[in-house]
Chains A and B, each alone.
Chain A
Amino acid sequence: MPLIDVRDLSKVFEVPEREPGLRAAAKSLVRRKTRDVRAVGDVSFEVEAGEIVGFLGPNGAGKTTTLKMLSGLLHPTSGELSVLGHEPSKRERDYLSRITLVMGNRNQLQWDLPALDSFELTRAIYRLREAPFLEQRDELIELLDLGDLVNKPVRNLSLGERMKAEIANSLLHRPSVLFLDEPTIGLDVVMQRRIRTFLAEYNTRHDASIMLTSHYMADIEALCERVIVIHEGSLLFDGALGDLSDRFAAHKTLVVTLGEAADLSGYGEVVEASPTQVTLRIPRGDTAAVTGRLLAEQPVTDLTVEDPPIDDVIELAFASGDS
């Protein structure tokens, strides 16, 4: 049985409807009109132990709603959901003790006290024995490079430092499933990279599964072999990050280095050209044929085949969801 098993998961919200105008405002005093909004519809996927899965989608696609259902904060409207053999919405102690949810910009640490004090509180909440708690705590402090920062009041830490302490606090109970919603939001590049390496390290050390949403593609590229793309509540893609471009990018880019100048406009769309280097855009399916012809007919000294940048591919994927 997979660690996370999601089948036909849907969530529908009832939202109050407010029409513009005076009469509508007065009417809403008496009876409020509501309208159903489908945040997530018929999503199915499975996640195995030790996998890191990137969860992609534009704002409002249903990423956070799905993570909240997985962590037991929201009841699904329909569908089946099982994590670690538990039904998350029952919020059993045993279940909550084995997962964690980290949301960027959310603060769980005591603002006026050093993080170490909050760690003690977390220890009491999760009923951790002293020896394993200290071991885990010191390991996290070391891996996250927190050092002396844990002795300073949290209010005196920078945003990035606070996020690192926040992450440490969320992992003291050694969860085997991590739900991370924009854990690097608002952090500078160095700090983002630091958190990325840490997550990879934590994943290998504890064989923990991680589901991660992020606006920064660098996070996804560095961490996730597999991505799930959702758009307007529906699943668009589930597979290896590399396959994403096969599926959504209709073109590939050829960078051809030439021994002498030549006109390559017959082979594909010329995107960029200098006397010795030409960049061509060609339909994905023609890649093999065009490269074969180029090598046979032109003075090629070097040739590379590239997928378009991942950001562009994601944009194409979302666009395909719109149509």
Chain B
Amino acid sequence: MTTGAIDDGLHESGLRAFLRLYATLFRLAIIEQFQYRAANYFYMIGMITEPVIYLVVWSTIADARGGEVGGFTAGTFAAYYIVWTLVRNMNIVFTPFGWEQRIREGQLSSQLVRPLHPIHYDLGFFAGWKVVVIVMWLPLATVLSLIFKPELNPTVAQMGAFFVAIWGAYLIRSLLLWMLGMVTFWTTRVSAAFEVFFAAELLLSGRLVPVRLMPDWAQQVAGVLPFESTFGFPITALVGPISNEELVEGLLTQAFWILFGVAGVSFMWRRAVRNYTAVSG
């Protein structure tokens, strides 16, 4: 992206405008999504069933085995799956299923005639939405904590790392799903591929079950894929047990996947636009 300002009295410098862009998108998303707070709440309550099921099942197993499974107790499972609800919300980004509509209904054309890479709309807008979501999540987390009594004693370092890691997770997942969604430019029969991607993600990210509870070979597979950086790592960063070295390692892994995502998105985007401008009718 070029930042050269046109010196004509009309335009301002790239950096200032860039910050303003994000501030504006943030603000608009907050106002808009706050209007839909009831809908947002229904959605969140529906979503919370999923971790509650996992939590209940694994707590039952821990109790049946005398209180512990793979280092998790009912209390740490509770902590894991309550933090899960926040991380899950951070994982909500523009869906790859939305690309077909974007292309068909011409929103993409409208964005292409404006001098801005469209990913900024999504990044800024969904980030602003997160603010609404976090505010609304707090009472739900409180209720869940009162019911399931989580054991959660993070250090200051863990809390700091967690705060960074949830935004890292947001960024990685945004970039990954953008790449996935852009496949729509080459073929419209992409839904099946999306399903397989989401299933792999569900299993290997730590969403279904902490990766530590998986067989060794599955843990190794998860280690070379980006999914854990978007889900399991942020949770473990707060819930533990995790050493400071592992925190740094996890954040560096996230940084790697962000770079990977940025490179991948810009590579694919250039080709996608070339393809789109060759054929769109």
A interface residues with partner B (beta carbon < 8 Å): 13-14, 39, 65, 68, 71-75, 89, 91, 93-94, 96-97, 99-101, 103, 106, 108, 110, 112-113, 117, 120-121, 123-129, 132, 173-174
Interface of A is mostly: mixed
Task: Give which listed residue, A96, A117, A120, A127, contacts B12 with CB less than 8 A.
Answer: A127
B21: chain A residues within 8 A (beta carbon): 121, 124-125
A94: chain B residues within 8 A (beta carbon): 6
Given A97-B6, A117-B31, A125-B21, the answer on whether A73 and B112 have CB atoms closer than 8 Å is yes
Q: How far is the CA of A71 from the CA of B106 in the complex (A)?
A: 14
Q: How far is the CA of A126 from the CA of B6 in the complex (A)?
A: 11
B109: chain A residues within 8 A (beta carbon): 68, 73, 101, 103, 106
Answer yes or no: B115 CB below 8 A from chain A CBs.
Answer: yes
B10→A14 contact, CB < 8 A: no
Q: How far is the CA of A74 from the CA of B20 in the complex (A)?
A: 30
Interfacial residues of chain B within 69-113, with CB under 8 A of chain A in the complex: 106, 109-110, 112-113
B113→A106 contact, CB < 8 A: no
B113→A71 contact, CB < 8 A: yes
Q: How far is the CA of A231 from the CA of B20 in the complex (A)?
A: 45
B113→A125 contact, CB < 8 A: no
Q: Which residue of A lies closest to B21 (CB)?
A: A124
B13: chain A residues within 8 A (beta carbon): 127
Q: Which residue of B lies closest to A72 (CB)?
A: B113
A-B contact pairs, 20 of them (CB 8 A): A71-B113, A73-B112, A73-B277, A73-B280, A75-B274, A89-B277, A91-B273, A93-B2, A97-B115, A99-B113, A101-B113, A103-B110, A121-B25, A125-B21, A125-B114, A126-B114, A127-B11, A127-B14, A129-B9, A173-B10
B interface residues with partner A (beta carbon < 8 Å): 2, 4-6, 9-14, 16-17, 20-21, 23-25, 27-28, 31-32, 35-36, 106, 109-110, 112-116, 273-274, 277-281
B12: chain A residues within 8 A (beta carbon): 127-129
The 4 closest A-B pairs by CB, nearest first: A127-B17, A124-B21, A96-B115, A93-B115
Closest Cβ of chain A to B127, distance in Å, is 14
Given A103-B106, A128-B11, the answer on whether A121 and B113 have CB atoms closer than 8 Å is no
B14: chain A residues within 8 A (beta carbon): 127
Closest Cβ of chain B to A234, distance in Å, is 18
Among A94, A97, A121, find the residue whose CB has the most chain B CB atoms closer than 10 A. Answer: A121
A71: chain B residues within 8 A (beta carbon): 113
Q: How far is the CA of A293 from the CA of B23 in the complex (A)?
A: 77
Q: How far is the CA of A103 from the CA of B105 in the complex (A)?
A: 12
Task: Give which listed residue, B11, B24, B32, B112, contacts A91 with CB less than 8 A.
Answer: B112
Task: Give which listed residue, B11, B110, B280, B281, contacts A126 with CB less than 8 A.
Answer: B11
B2→A113 contact, CB < 8 A: no
A128→B28 contact, CB < 8 A: no
Closest Cβ of chain A to B23, distance in Å, is 8
Q: How far is the CA of A120 from the CA of B124 in the complex (A)?
A: 14
Q: How far is the CA of A72 from the CA of B112 in the complex (A)?
A: 8
Task: Give which listed residue, A14, A112, A126, contacts B35 with CB less than 8 A.
Answer: A112
Closest Cβ of chain A to B20, distance in Å, is 4
Closest Cβ of chain B to A57, distance in Å, is 16
Closest Cβ of chain A to B125, distance in Å, is 10
A174: chain B residues within 8 A (beta carbon): 10
Q: How far is the CA of A103 from the CA of B111 in the complex (A)?
A: 13
B11→A112 contact, CB < 8 A: no
Closest Cβ of chain B to A28, distance in Å, is 13
Given A74-B280, A127-B14, A127-B17, the answer on whether A113 and B31 have CB atoms closer than 8 Å is yes
Q: How far is the CA of A39 from the CA of B281 in the complex (A)?
A: 9
Q: Which residue of A lies closest to B113 (CB)?
A: A101
A74: chain B residues within 8 A (beta carbon): 277-278, 280
Q: How far is the CA of A132 from the CA of B6 in the complex (A)?
A: 14
B27: chain A residues within 8 A (beta carbon): 117
Given A75-B278, A124-B24, the answer on whether A110 and B113 have CB atoms closer than 8 Å is no
Given A75-B277, A120-B24, A132-B9, the answer on whether A126 and B115 have CB atoms closer than 8 Å is yes
